Amino acid sequence: GAVVSQHPSWVICKSGTSVKIECRSLDFQATTMFWYRQFPKQSLMLMATSNEGSKATYEQGVEKDKFLINHASLTLSTLTVTSAHPEDSSFYICSAWKGEGGELFFGEGSRLTVL
Amino acid sequence: GQNIDQPTEMTATEGAIVQINCTYQTSGFNGLFWYQQHAGEAPTFLSYNVLDGLEEKGRFSSFLSRSKGYSYLLLKELQMKDSASYLCAVKDSNYQLIWGAGTKLIIKP
């Protein structure tokens, strides 16, 4: 079964609104989670590394004020797309390491469509 | 800079064997991963190599040569459901994952 779960799987919102995506590790604690974005027919692009109890580390070119990341517990990280615009429409995926040097498990992904 | 190279696209026939290569230049090495990603879905884990040699797991095998900065994923007895993108990723000295762009594998009957 899934070890990392994302919610929602699909979300459609109006331009200018904010959308929150949750990423949960189901049977392990994850001090670090990763958020990716993937546009159609393109590769995964790491957006940010979410650190439990501290600020997220954003990749170059990713607006931290637009993509708010909160990692308040060892099993939950959230990504909030603020003031979403159509160009933010994408497939957002989270992942987390399970165990020291273990596998990187991915959530199911969340497909965001901004109208 | 850090770089992962893999072919953009490959085509193979159902029942055949295909080898997807991955070469890397990274700052340090702490393991290499292969993931499968079907269109519209999140990646799923296939294999992890940290030592040189071949790791076999059913129809899929993964090989690593650290001295050559090279890995391959071998898929045997190809099935139509194997049509997907295959992603190579290397964990560098800072334990950051560096991703390749992925290889789209097309299986023909």
Looking at residue A1, its pLDDT comes to 62
Distances, alpha carbon A37 to alpha carbons A44, A49, A92, A95, A102, in Å: 6, 12, 5, 11, 23
Least confident range of A38-42, A45-49, A78-82, B102-106: A38-42
Which neighbouring-strand residues pair with A112?
A: A11, A90
Rounded distance between C-alpha atoms, residue B2 and residue A67, angstroms: 26
Looking at residue A100, its pLDDT comes to 62
Q: Do A106 and B33 touch (CB under 8 A)?
A: no
Q: Which of A57, A68, A71, A72 is nearest to A92 (CA)?
A: A68
Q: Do B42 and A109 touch (CB under 8 A)?
A: yes
Q: Which residue has the higher pLDDT, B69 or A27?
A: B69
Q: Which residue of A has its CA nearest to B50?
A: A101
Burial class of residue B106 (count of CB atoms within 10 Å of its CB; 0-12, 13-18, 19+): exposed
Q: Which residue has the higher pLDDT, B95 or A35?
A: A35
Is residue A10 very low, low, confident or very high in pLDDT (cuts 50, 70, 90)?
very high
Q: Do A43 and B42 touch (CB under 8 A)?
A: no
Residues of A with Cβ-Cβ distance to B101 under 8 angstroms: 43
Distance from CA of A82 to the nearest CA of B (A): 23
Q: Do A104 and B30 touch (CB under 8 A)?
A: no
Burial class of residue A7 (count of CB atoms within 10 Å of its CB; 0-12, 13-18, 19+): middle
Distances, alpha carbon A91 to alpha carbons A31, B55, B85, in Å: 23, 31, 15
Report yes or no: A103 and B45 within 8 Å, Cβ to Cβ: yes
Residues of A with Cβ-Cβ distance to B33 under 8 angstroms: 103-104
Q: Which of residues 56-95 of A touch B (CB under 8 A)?
A: 91, 93
Does B81 contact chain A (CB < 8 Å)? Answer: no
What secondary structure letter does DSSP report for A30?
Answer: -
Who among A43, A103, A107 is closest to B102 (CB)? Answer: A43
Does B44 contact chain A (CB < 8 Å)? Answer: yes
Tokens of B10: 């490959």
Q: Do A106 and B42 touch (CB under 8 A)?
A: yes
pLDDT per residue as tens digits for the range A11-42: 999 999 999 999 999 988 888 899 999 988 78
Instruction: Specify whether the backbone of A88 is left (phi greater than 0), alpha (psi in -120 to 50) or beta.
Output: alpha
Looking at residue A102, its pLDDT comes to 65
Distance from CA of A18 to the nearest CA of B (A): 23
Report yes or no: A65 and A93 within 8 Å, Cβ to Cβ: no
* Cα A114 off chain centre by: 16
Residue B64 has pLDDT above 90, yes or no: yes
- DSSP 3-state percent helix, strand, coil across chain A (nearest 5): 5, 50, 45
pLDDT per residue as tens digits for the range A67-114: 999 998 999 999 999 999 999 999 999 999 887 656 788 999 999 999
Which residue type occupies B25?
Answer: Q
